[in-house]
């Protein structure tokens, strides 16, 4: 499936999720704190996308690579119909459904570290955002994160992400042995959707090849009590190019463009 979005990308999108699997994704997200959105892209198109995307990578000066937000490749993954479909309920509290707004991104490519030691069970764990203020009370949060790896994650050595199941709504944690730790292993055509308040950590890639880590955060409009004053790079160009009001809102909340 392709759309009429005015953006050049090798990614080929699939049809929206059927109602049963869509409901399962949302239920799993709310109860576990994460879910794998399957078959977001056609598998062969992911390889073509990575090949083109790598031409735009730049050295970040800290030993890894970054994809500039000015690149069309930076915005392409979140335009998939399945991503747009799940994000609305990911940042909403039923029965009210709000349109999600693309907040920010972290687009990094890490070099493989075949000699990396096995991680200590207690190292690297963290939560994002203001979890220390909000506490594990409300299962619907202002931030939902979608992550793409563009590789088949078959084992931890591939650079999988670990999470503590349900730690967004309970006091379960990775430090006292009371949290169930799982390694999430999506395929290259899948995406990992998760709440920033779940305990998580990323694993180094101990195999040949780079570790792709493209992370995008979404929020309900005005959750930060402000209206965007600019939309950087490809995001801003697409906002200006499209006549679709829903896509404009998805990209920039209540942003009205330059005057």
194 pLDDT exceeds 80?
yes
Instruction: State whether residue 86 is helix, strand or coil.
Output: helix
19-251, CATH topology level = Jelly Rolls (2.60.120)
pLDDT in tens, 20-40: 999 999 999 999 999 999 999
- The average pLDDT across 188-213 equals 89
Give 171's pLDDT tier (boundaries 50, 70, 90): confident
**Helices 233-241 & 245-252, crossing angle to 10 degrees?**
160
Strands of the sheet containing 211-219, edge to edge, are 34-37, 191-195, 144-148, 211-219, 101-110, 65-66, 58-59
Residue 136 pLDDT greater than 70, yes or no: no
Q: Note the pLDDT of residue 31.
A: 92
Give pLDDT, residue 14.
Answer: 97
pLDDT at residue 140 greater than cutoff 70: no
Higher-pLDDT residue of 81 and 4 is 81
Residue with tokens 């084992």: 155
CB 82 within 8 A of CB 3: no
Residue 56: pLDDT above 90? yes
- In this predicted structure, the answer to whether residue 245 has a pLDDT above a threshold of 70 is yes
Q: Residue 87: what are its φ and ψ, rounded to 5°?
A: -65, -35
Least-confidence region, from 67-76, 184-193, 212-221, 234-243: 212-221
Where would I find the beta strands (DSSP E) of the chain? 34-37, 58-59, 65-66, 101-110, 144-148, 161-164, 181-184, 191-195, 200-202, 211-219
| Confidence (pLDDT) at 51 | 96
Mean pLDDT, range 50-72, rounded to an integer: 92
Q: How confident is the model over 157-163, as a mean pLDDT?
A: 88
Mean of the per-residue pLDDT values of the chain: 84
Does pLDDT of 1 surpass 70? no
For residue 164, the cross-strand partners are: 181
């Amino acid at each position: 499936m392709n759309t009429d979005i005015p953006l050049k990308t090798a990614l080929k999108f699939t049809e929206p999720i059927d109602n049963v699997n869509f409901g399962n994704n949302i239920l799993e997200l709310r109860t576990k704190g994460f879910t794998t959105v399957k078959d977001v892209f056609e598998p062969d198109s992911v390889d073509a996308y990575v090949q083109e995307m790598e031409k735009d990578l730049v050295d970040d000066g800290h030993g890894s690579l970054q994809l500039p937000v000015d690149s069309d490749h930076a915005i392409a993954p979140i335009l998939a119909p399945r991503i747009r479909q799940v994000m609305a309920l990911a940042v909403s509290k039923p029965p009210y459904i709000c349109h999600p707004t693309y907040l920010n991104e972290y687009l990094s490519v890490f070099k493989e570290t075949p000699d990396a030691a096995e991680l200590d069970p207690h190292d690297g764990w963290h939560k994002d955002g203001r979890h220390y203020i909000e506490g594990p009370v409300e299962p619907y949060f202002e931030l939902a994160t979608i992550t793409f790896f563009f590789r088949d994650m078959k084992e931890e050595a591939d650079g999988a992400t670990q999470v503590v199941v349900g730690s967004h709504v309970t006091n379960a944690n990775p430090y006292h042995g009371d949290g169930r730790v799982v390694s999430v292993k999506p395929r290259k055509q899948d995406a990992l959707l998760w709440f920033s308040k779940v305990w998580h950590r990323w694993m180094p890639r101990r195999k040949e090849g780079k570790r792709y880590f493209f992370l995008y955060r979404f929020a309900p409009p005005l959750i930060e009590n402000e209206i965007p004053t600019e939309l950087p790079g490809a995001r801003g160009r697409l906002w200006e190019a499209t006549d679709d009001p829903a896509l404009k809102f998805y990209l920039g909340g209540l942003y009205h463009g330059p005057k």
